A = this chain, B = another copy of it.
Amino acid sequence: MNARDLRCLAFEGDAATGSLRVLDQRLLPAIERWFECRSAGAVALAIRDMAVRGAPAIGIAAAYGVAIAVQEANRRGYPSIAVREAVEDTVNKLGATRPTAVNLFWALERCRTLAAQGADEASQFLELARAMHEDDAQGNRRIGETFASRIEDGMSLLTHCNAGALATGGYGTALAPIYVAHESGRRLHVYVDETRPRLQGARLTAWELSKVGVPFTLICDGMAASLMAKGKIQLAITGADRIAASGDVANKIGTYSVAVNAAHHQVPFHVAAPASTFDLSCPDGASIAIEERNPSEVTDWAGERTCPSGARVYNPSFDVTPARLVRSIVTERGEISPVHREQIAKVLGAPMDLAQPR
């Protein structure tokens, strides 16, 4: 399978009657099942329960969710003012699903702006969502092309969580350079952190790499350090859920440990993310809200409890890697290196406005 054909979201049908099809990532790799979201509430649930996950994919799904809400409003014959209210309500509902992924808020802000500009037809919102979806896939392809040259023949890379096609509009961020290098015939090997507690590495990244035919080895998160000590990993790359103005990166819990280990072993640690992942209103990592999720993600597995009842659990979904540990951030607008405020502004093109397309 070609990486280009790996998708996790598809809007089917026209603006008046279509719906969002979502690949249920909770069932992968065992079952490939798509389900249909015919309401914005269904999209919100899909995001909250992580049927769709990955910061860019969440943002795109949310934009489709707003289009579906407007579709419903149009069907009911709402006047323009009521459509705008429906958009506002939907934006609030979708924004409450997951607090850390900034692409979600970025996407919702664009929907709100469109409504504020007077748009009140589902077709207008669907066009915006489709454009965001396609822009993301194309931008990721550019991320892949920008960074692929850094992946030399015979190289072994480490990645954490899933920053692939399943996390985005297409291609992925961290996986995009791997796909591009693989397509160009370079031999490479990917060590995949299983990524506890939800195993997005084992379940999703391994699934994607299997599909595309990229050689990989699955490891537990605690094994990467010893592989680095043995010189078996030449480069580490992950995605991001939110990047502060300082360049501090919030990403899936465990990413920071990868970055610390990479620094200790002089393995370059890179982040790949679209410009929509930057939140310049966050001065630094300390001001990024970190979602804590249900302890059962840590304590339960397939109905079996793995620790004594009553055990206290800490289950943050993300951690923050300070900019100084990040060799570069690869975006669709170019590579940011060194990672600091000025270089970020230079590559992304400041001033950046959350509400505007970038």
Contacts and interface: CB of A to CB of B under 8 A. Distances in A.
B222 A306 contact: no
A220 interface: yes
A219 interface: yes
A226 B256 contact: yes
A304 interface: yes
Contacts of A301: 301-302, 304
Contacts of A346: none
Interface residues of A, number: 57
A218 B307 contact: yes
Interface of A: 29-30, 160, 191, 193-197, 199, 202-203, 206-207, 210, 215-227, 229, 253-257, 260-261, 263-264, 298-299, 301-308, 310-316, 319-320
B260 A316 contact: no
Nearest to A325: B264
Contacts of A253: 220, 222-223, 226
A76 B196 CA distance: 53
29 contacts: A191-B314, A193-B222, A194-B196, A194-B298, A194-B306, A196-B222, A199-B306, A199-B307, A202-B306, A216-B311, A217-B314, A218-B312, A218-B313, A220-B221, A220-B315, A222-B253, A223-B253, A223-B319, A225-B260, A226-B316, A226-B320, A229-B319, A257-B257, A260-B260, A260-B261, A263-B264, A264-B264, A301-B304, A302-B302
A101 B312 CA distance: 31
Contacts of A308: 29, 206-207, 210
Nearest to A286: B230
Contact of A221 (B30, B222, B304): B222
A296 B256 CA distance: 27
Contacts of A263: 264
A10 to B, nearest CB: 22
A298 B217 CA distance: 11
A312 B216 contact: yes
Given A202-B307, A226-B319, A307-B29, A217 B264 contact: no
